[in-house]
Structure 1
Amino acid sequence: MKKTNQNIILRTENLSIGYQQKKEDKIVASGINLEIKRGKLVTILGKNGIGKSTLLRTLSKVQNPISGDIFIYQKKLNELSEKELSKQVSLVLTERIPESQLTVYELIALGRQPYTNWIDKLSEKDIEKIETAIHQTEITHLKNNLFYELSDGQLQRALIARALAQDTEIIILDEPTAHLDIHHTIKIFSLLKKLVKETQKTVIISSHEVNMSIQLADEIILLTENKLYSETPKKLIKENAFDTLFPQELIYFNKDLQQFVVRKK
């Protein structure tokens, strides 16, 4: 019998990911064997079109794998009911939320749906989880605002709060800083790092923010044309894994600075 590490919260076995194209499977990446530990900030990196979002959406059961298996603890992802999954994994996608009259508090309260009764009445525990999430994301001053009045950075915090209120072991975010300036990008990354430390939840994000990920992520899943890496930032730097990430005529990875820099002509 295979010995398992109880600290591994999510793993894959010989996973192939992709999508349907003209009724045929289009494989984006294959042979993916990952082990993600509890209480880590994990960033999925790679160039445009390499499969970051496809991997993330497959790990969260938004789309099916081409082949292979995904496990949350020791249970196969495809064997979890929607209700079971909603208590294990919360998801924040890049799609805009339809405009409505929901307040920020009401938006965050939606995270308690897996636990509420059939008339959706919030219990004392539900209210406590919502208030804690609002406090953790530092948006108490915004909770009575209509959510569509928020800036992009504020809305991202509210969506993270909704995921926290859902109280899952795993939080998955697709490009959480996609529409943010550098200041708010740093704030969101710092917030996620803080939340992982405080809650011991596992946070997995897809991102284009390579330099930020190297500084703040515990683990990086790096998708390249020929290989998938899953290591700490230090190990990836040591293995020169970032060297082929982008064409080197414009930028290159500086190991001393531990970041990409513009090549001077």
Structure 2
Amino acid sequence: MSEPLARSPRPLWPHPDDVVTALRTAGCVFAEEEASLLLEVARTPDELTAMVARRASGLPLEHVVGWAEFAGLRIEVDAGVFVPRRRTEFLVARAAALLRPGAVVLDLCCGSGAVGAALAAAVPGVELHAADLDPAAVRCARRNLAGAGGRVYEGDLFAPLPAGLRGRVDVLAANVPYVPTGDIPLLPSEARDHEAPLALDGGADGLDLLRRVARSARAWLAPGGTLLSETSEPQVPPALRALRAGGFTATTAHDPDLDATVLMATRE
């Protein structure tokens, strides 16, 4: 009589409740949702255990799993790279409304390239360019924008851009850092300890980078082109002054549900 086939024992996965408890103990506000995601993406029990430990140590969930959900896309986010915030989807929506196929888009201070990727997905056929000072962000953005044919440059603001782009940009999405230097210690540890400081620090009042962009952006925009940037509500008056000093007609829009404020500056 034949013997039954021997079966390998089923791997002992951590119980979902144990994952939730570990995350909640570590202070994760959305422990149940995060546990569900980690259980979904982990390929082995050991990998799940390691992921839970990394998250419990304070590493952003997006850095643990290697991607962030943004505007319906899965954006790769490497360790140390700025994690795209959900509120920035408001900037994407405002920018997408200005685009048509064939338009030229520049994602400045692009980080992972999330804004550029979302705009290319919303309006297929745009000519997409992006730039960032952080080499880690540039490597990440190149992967995220490759499918859209995006070209990503490494350097400070407009400095690395090709001269042929000057005067051709229809939409310039400049999601520059705007946290005042003195407020950096008040940020959640996920941002303060695990994202590059240059992706957060906007100078004494948070507007240093915006002022620099405002002084130079006009030369890169096509006639009628628009610069869009995110800011906080208290920063709106000085931000508008900076944009108008740069020769723009500037307005703002606010989404209370996302707590998002976007500056829109048009070159006449």
> Normalising to structure 1: TM-score of the pair?
0.31
Q: Larger Cα Rg: Structure 1 or Structure 2?
A: 2
User: Which structure: greater strand fraction?
Assistant: 1
* TM-score, normalised relative to structure 2: 0.31
Structure (1 or 2) with the greater helix fraction:
2
